[in-house]
Amino acid sequence: MLGHRPYLLVVVLIAATLPYRTLGQRAETYCFTDDPDPYIKFGTKTAYTLANGEFTHEDLVPAGCEARQAWHLVRHGTRYPSEDDIAVFLVLLPTLQDAILLAHQDGQGELCEGDLKLLADWSLGDLNVSWANVLTSQGHLELEGLATRYKEAIPLLLDQPFTNESFKFRHTATQRTEASARSYAQGLFGSDVYMPSPIDPDPLLKFYKVCNDYVTEVADNPEATIESQLYQEGEKMATVVDNVSLRLGIPLGFEEIEVLYDACRYYKAWDPTAAAAWCVAFTSDDLKVMEYWEDLYYYYTNGYAYPINYEMACPPVQDLIQHFSFCSSINSRSSSSSSNNNNSTSEVVESGEGPSGVFYFTHVDALVPVMTRLGLYKDPEPLTHDHEDPDRLWRSSSHGIFATNLAFTLSSCGADEWWVSLAMSEQVVALGGCASPLGCTWEEFMATYGFLEQCDLDAICNNAST
Ligand SMILES: *[C@@H]1O[C@H](CO)[C@@H](O)[C@H](O)[C@H]1NC(C)=O
Ligand SMILES: *[C@@H]1O[C@H](CO)[C@@H](O)[C@H](O)[C@H]1NC(C)=O
């Protein structure tokens, strides 16, 4: 099963007998179980509850206005690893656990008593490959809580009985997005609701799967990940590998460090209130290196590094604009706002003013490009392997977490006055070109983002040319 990683076992087997460098007396060694505030920014595998904000009515709807439509794009919640990653966990983690405990008995390693005990008490439990990519119980809670809080913030709009016309759900063709959508429905309605069968691949929610230029320039292009590769091969990562090896008392390579990092952050996400045993391997400095390594990867494959990464992300924004335009134009009974909207899709046009809520459930590869399309988290300088800004805006630990979500709320503020707010994982985000940090007038919003109502994905992606 682990045929592609034979070196892992070899390394562990020789570890116990290896004459190991004796440690000098260290002034202070890191003790995870004594750390009252361990580092928990775990990139795209950060549990939602460790990084989210909390919706408030005031944030979403200005005084004197009334919420009229909600449009919510949501990443699935915390999941189990892929089949391959679970298979590696099953073989490697118990072996490393034994080797680390043995090494400490032999006087190697630096783990404090509490950390050793936490690691000794760890076990795989029932983890098995049939759980691959499945939404965890924590993931269900994340989505249910998210929906509940959105409803509490705008009850007039969302605290209504379900009908097919008033609430639109859509998820991709995976268990984790469907289960996320159904947990969200539980949070809103206390019951399951009708959801259409997924489209596979979905050009709205998985545009990155139907975009030729993205596939050739980025997804299938090894050059696109060269910066994270260079960082991986650089000095800082070498220090992490040395530090972790020294701390655990066994010599490890980057591949094992990567598995341990996943073990640390997945277990933390599955049970965010508990101490995750495998996190004993890392200090906060080590974790910041791992975090930047992943941030680089997403910056180049989903972020500002390649224009196609955000150019292809217009379908969801177009859908948002069409819904909000329709809702506001029907209500305004006025031809002034966006009456030139002659290419709206038939899906948008519903009875009355359109649905109260539009809820989409997809993946990080859709969420992050949409954020990039909106101009969010853009640093003045590009991220590279040798330019690491600790205060950078681009941070998957904040905008790429499990259940990361973009909640747009359209409010009516009197005669022909409309307001758009955006909350990212329940924290209000200032949108480009808008005077207020809390949101935009409809005119401001359209002045900045209105051009995205035109979105010809086949042309953008050169899809016809194959
Ligand atoms: C919603 O639409 C589906 C598919 O057309 C239908 O099967 C279902 O009965 C509808 N549900 C309600 C509550 O109208
Ligand atoms: C590695 O260990 C050294 C010495 O304890 C420490 O100063 C440093 O912060 C650790 N981590 C990294 C990434 O350098």
In eight-state DSSP terms, residue 374 is T
* Number of the ligand 2 atom closest to the C-alpha atom of 246: 2
pLDDT, mean of residues 283-311: 98
| Ligand 1 geometric centre to CA of 346 (Å) | 18
Query: If we measure between CA atoms, which residue out of 432, 233, 418, 447 comes closest to residue 327?
Result: 418
252-269 CB burial, b ≥16 within 10 A, e <16:
beeebbebbbbbbbbbbb
> Mean pLDDT lowest for which of 64-73, 306-315, 409-418?
409-418
- The residue whose CA is least distant from atom 4 of ligand 2 is 243
Identify the residue whose C-alpha is closest to ligand 2 atom 3: 243
Per-residue pLDDT, 360: 98
- 244-274, pLDDT tens digit by residue? 999 999 999 999 999 999 999 999 999 999 9
| Closest approach atom of ligand 1 to CA 196 | 4
At 454, phi and psi to the nearest 5? -90, 120
Task: Kindly report the CATH class assigned to 41-461.
Answer: alpha beta
Asked whether the predicted pLDDT for residue 109 surpasses 90, the reply is: yes
- Of ligand 1's listed atoms, the one at least distance from the Cα of 194 is 1
Three-class DSSP category at 111? coil
SS3 50: helix
Can you tell me the mean pLDDT for 417-438? Answer: 96
CA quadruple 331, 333, 339, 341: dihedral, nearest 10: 30
Q: How many angstroms does the Cα of residue 352 sit away from the middle of ligand 2? A: 61
Question: Per-residue confidence at 464, pLDDT binned at 50, 70, 90?
Answer: confident
The ligand with the least distance to the CA atom of 192 is: 1
Among the bound ligands, the one closest to the CA of 162: 1
The mean predicted confidence, pLDDT, of the chain is 91
Q: Predicted confidence band at 347 (pLDDT cuts at 50, 70, 90)?
A: very low
The whole-number average pLDDT for the span 314-339 is 76
Ligand 2 pocket, residue 328 CB under 6 Å: no
Index of the ligand 2 atom closest to the CA of residue 29:
5
The verdict on the CB of residue 285 being under 6 Å from ligand 2 is yes
Q: Which of 4-18, 121-135, 137-151, 409-423 has the lowest mean pLDDT?
A: 4-18
Residues 461, 210: contact at Cβ < 8 Å? yes
Cα of 20 from ligand 2 centre, angstroms: 19
Residue 416 has a pLDDT of 86
Is residue 399 within 8 Å of residue 112, measured between CB atoms? no
Predicted pLDDT of residue 29: 87
Instruction: Answer yes or no: are the C-beta atoms of 205 and 176 closer than 8 Å.
Output: no
Distance CA 248, CA 189 (A): 48
Q: Check if the beta carbon of residue 114 is closer than 8 Å to that of residue 280.
A: no
Per-residue model confidence as pLDDT tens digits over 349-375: 334 578 999 999 999 999 999 999 999
Cα 400 to Cα 175: distance, rounded to the nearest angstrom = 20
**Is the distance from the beta carbon of residue 362 to the nearest atom of ligand 2 less than 6 Å?**
no
Binding site membership of 283 for ligand 2 (Cβ less than 6 Å): yes
Lowest mean pLDDT segment, chosen from 102-106, 345-349, 420-424, 454-458: 345-349
CA distance 147 to 135: 16
Select from 79, 181, 188 the least CA-distant residue to 138: 79
Ligand nearest to the CA of 281: 2
Long-range contacts for 440-444 (Cβ within 8 Å, ≥24 apart)? 441/417, 442/324, 442/328, 442/337, 442/417, 442/418, 443/337
Residue 301 banded pLDDT, cuts 50, 70, 90 = very high
Residue closest via CA to ligand 2's atom 7 equals: 285
- Span 422-427, average pLDDT: 98
Looking at residue 92, its pLDDT comes to 98
What gap in Å lies between CA 141 and CA 163, rounded to an integer? 24
Range name among 182-186, 282-286, 314-318, 340-344 with the lowest pLDDT average: 340-344
Coil, helix or strand at residue 74? strand
pLDDT digits (tens, 9 = 90+) for 153-206: 999 999 999 999 999 999 999 999 999 999 999 999 999 999 999 999 999 999
What was the pLDDT predicted at 346?
A: 33
pLDDT category at 212 given cuts 50, 70, 90 is: very high
Ligand nearest to the CA of 247: 2
Question: What pLDDT, on a 0 to 100 scale, did the predictor assign at position 415?
Answer: 83
Q: What is the rounded CA–CA span in Å between residue 194 and residue 121?
A: 44
pLDDT greater than 90 at residue 314: yes
Smallest CA separation from ligand 1 atom 6, residue: 194
125 Cβ contact partners less than 8 Å away, ≥ 6 residues apart = none
> Which residues have C-beta atoms less than 6 Å from ligand 1?
163-164, 194
User: Of the candidates 441, 320, 418, 440, which has an alpha carbon nearest to the alpha carbon of residue 371?
Assistant: 320
Q: Which residues pair with 422 in a beta bridge?
A: 408
Q: Whose CA is nearest to atom 12 of ligand 1?
A: 164
Q: Is pLDDT at 391 greater than 80 in this prediction?
A: yes
Token representation of residue 180: 């996320």
The DSSP secondary structure of 144-204, one letter per residue, reads HHHHHHHHHHSHHHHSS---TTTEEEEE-SSHHHHHHHHHHHHHHHSS----PPPPSS-TT
- Pocket probe mutation, ligand 1, options 160, 163, 164, max atoms within 8 Å of Cβ: 164
Quick one: pLDDT at residue 352? Answer: 57
Out of 9-18, 129-138, 232-241, least confident range: 9-18
Structure tokens given for 305: 């590094």
**pLDDT greater than 70 at residue 348:** no
Ligand 1 atom closest to Cα of residue 163:
13
Q: Are 26 and 380 in contact (CB under 8 A)?
A: no
The residue whose two tokens read 């679970």 is 86
Q: What is the pTM of this model?
A: 0.91
Closest by CA to 160, choosing from 249, 67, 82, is 67
Ligand 1 center to residue 324 CA distance, Å? 24
- pLDDT score for 328: 82
How many Å apart are CA 242 and CA 410, to the nearest integer?
Answer: 52
